[in-house]
A and B are shown apart, each in its own frame.
Chain A
Amino acid sequence: MASQVMTNLDPKSRAAAKGLSDLTIRNLFIIPTIAFLIIFNIFPLLYSLAYSFTDFRASTRAPANFVGLQNYRDLLSDPFIWSNFSITAKYVLISVTGQVLVGFGLAMLLNRAIPAKGLITTLLLLPMMLSMAVVGLFWKLLYDPNFGIINYFLGLEKFEWLADPDMALYAIAIVDIWMWAPFVMLLSLAGLSAVPKHLYEAAEIDRASGLYTFFRITLPLVAPILMIAIIFRTMEAFKTFDLAYVLSSQPTTELIAIRLYKMAFQEWQTGMSSAFAYIVLIMVVAITNIYVKYLNKVKAR
């Protein structure tokens, strides 16, 4: 069967000279990958699933007791957890919307003949290459109410960006937008440059306004790739940890990932946090599935 699917090795190749069959070579590539996946992904996944039904604490030697769905029941009826979820939802919405608007806008600006286009694009892409923790640290300095450059330029005196409970989440979202709008820009730019120029010319000849052309030609053609950018960014924003953790420790900025971290590694509720992680996993899969369905619909049109 395998030999039917695969083309046979070139009998003159070095591998053949060493007496390797194409089946051996296939296994050579596939077995390490599968082993890696099982040991580091699938096994912990199942192991933590088992833990999620127990009251296990990694900090004690007490044996784990099976508690059934109690962890899940507790978590889903905990109003604090729901507040974590709504904070996260708000954060994802603000941050992804901001990234799409800024990123797509930049892409529209760059999608024309301008001098030093390559240099500008590269410079705009830099934030995306930095480490999250580093970005968090220097934005903390920028936001600083005493010597921060942002307050200086905006003339805001001692405005507490990160200590203000209402503002902190927006402040974090702004940093996330700064960092990841270039990613959306990059994908949008690829989408925009794939729109054939003759369509714009046809629209110009047909006396369509710029706005009409944008909504009827540009947007429908860029939509699939924009959707992919949105899927990526939503998943990432959903599990944001480091940026928020470094920047602020307000209750109003406690995203799910931070709550999860605290539960698992500060309170050592291992069983409970495993259950929490599973809830988050199911949500991410569900949201992604909705997007993918929508993406396929956009592509089919």
Chain B
Amino acid sequence: MADIALQRVTKKFGANTALRELDLDIKNGEFFVLLGQTGAGKTTTLRVIAGLEVPNSGKVMIDGQDATNWNAAERDVALVLQQYSLYPRMTVRGNLEFPLKSRTHNLTAAEIRERVDRVAETLQITRLLDRKVERLSGGEMQRVSIGRAIVRQPRVFLMDEPLSALDANLRDVLRVELKKLHSELGATFVFVTHDQVEAMSMGDKIGVLNRGKLVQVGTPSEIYARPLNTFVARSVGTPPMNLLDGTLAADTAILDAGRFALPLACRHGTDGARIRFGIRAEDVVLDEAGEAAGRVFDIENHGVIKILTLDVDGTQLHATVSAQTKVKIDETVRFTWKPEKVSSFDPATGRNLGLG
């Protein structure tokens, strides 16, 4: 149970700068997801919070106290890694007992047993307790690894892509379970992932990291609906937000592709200004009377919906339509967009002009 804050944290590995003056605020009880690509500094951030890496500069605050020079044990955090990191040659019970057997706890054997049994029950691994960890499947290993984290009742849970090595079905199951666990424990969770679906579905808050800097922090819906810049727009959502270059003219956007003029609800700039317009696939509407036209390039059927890739004079954009919509490849369709859903980005800096 703790607030965590990073203040202007910089971490270098040799000539590589992993984190650049990173500021981060995580409130007590939050499920905070750090989203970013490989090399964005997600894992480093987590390791700095855990106390496994010492930042070159900046401060790590836990509950308002400066914890920068505390070691991992003093910080009282739990860490779940992608590669499970179970202690080999021990049983599942041995692994779950491990964190309880250190001197700081002074638990009796009966207390340890009781705690381990309770955790095993929560994670449905009771029948595995006496098995060697080498004989577990990936999903079982990850459950044990999560169990080892919760058995100690730490202040903060840190999870480094815990679901990435699992197959899709298991990932969905554990995703739900982790979420449930979070609401039961009420503890602070910091969850690192490169998978934006995971981030969107699990996080109370998402922090988007890019090259060692936090680009945007917000609730999943904030991040989705109002991305701060084109990077966030492209990294969140499947398919990613369509970005179309164009020019502003009165209350319309003149797209470079096909010179189509589409309506705008609000404008950010003067006539003739170059703008990169962003529109989500579901906000592109197929319409007989639509202002723009494109050729159907590809159709992905997702059951409930279809995702169309439209080719508009050489530029491709995605549109989500209901599965009942009848379209054929190479057919030319007319479409428009929902004017109130359009984001405007500065083509030079990528900044969202609608957000101050």
Interface locus among B79-87, B203-211, B280-288: B79-87
The answer to whether A220 and B81 have CB atoms under 8 Å apart is no
Within 8 A of B (CB), among A212-247: 212, 216-217, 220-221
Task: Specify which of A196, A206, A301 is in contact with B98 (CB 8 Å cutoff).
Answer: A206
- CA–CA, A201 to B79, complex, Å? 9
Interface centre among B73, B81, B132 (most CB of A within 10 A): B73
Tell me which residues across on chain B come within 8 A of A166, comparing CB atoms.
Answer: none
Tell me which residues across on chain A come within 8 A of B148, comparing CB atoms.
Answer: 206
The answer to whether B71 and A204 have CB atoms under 8 Å apart is yes
Interface locus among B101-109, B293-301, B328-336: B101-109
1/0 contact trace for B85-129 toward A, CB 8 Å?
101111000000011011110000000000000000000000000
Interface size class of A (residues with CB under 8 A): 10 to 19
Interface centre among A196, A199, A208, A209 (most CB of B within 10 A): A208
Tell me which residues across on chain A come within 8 A of B101, comparing CB atoms.
Answer: 208, 212
Residue of A nearest to B77 (CB): A205
The answer to whether B79 and A205 have CB atoms under 8 Å apart is yes
Interface size class of B (residues with CB under 8 A): 20 to 34
Is the C-beta of B78 less than 8 angstroms from some C-beta in chain A?
Answer: yes
Within 8 A of A (CB), among B223-259: none
Residue of B nearest to A204 (CB): B72
The answer to whether A221 and B104 have CB atoms under 8 Å apart is no
Interface centre among A199, A206, A221 (most CB of B within 10 A): A206
Task: Specify which of B52, B81, B90, B99 is in contact with A206 (CB 8 Å cutoff).
Answer: B99
A-B pairs under 8 A by CB, number: 59
Is the C-beta of B50 less than 8 angstroms from some C-beta in chain A?
Answer: yes
Is the C-beta of B276 less than 8 angstroms from some C-beta in chain A?
Answer: no
The answer to whether B99 and A207 have CB atoms under 8 Å apart is yes
- CA–CA, A206 to B145, complex, Å? 12
Is the C-beta of A18 less than 8 angstroms from some C-beta in chain B?
Answer: no
- CA–CA, A216 to B94, complex, Å? 10
Residues of A within 8 A of B (CB): 196, 198-199, 201-209, 212, 216-217, 220-221, 301
Residues of B within 8 A of A (CB): 50, 52, 71-73, 76-79, 81, 83, 85, 87-90, 98-99, 101-104, 132, 148, 152
> Could you list 10 examples of A-B contacts with CB < 8 Å?
A198-B81, A201-B79, A203-B87, A204-B72, A206-B99, A206-B148, A206-B152, A207-B76, A216-B87, A221-B89
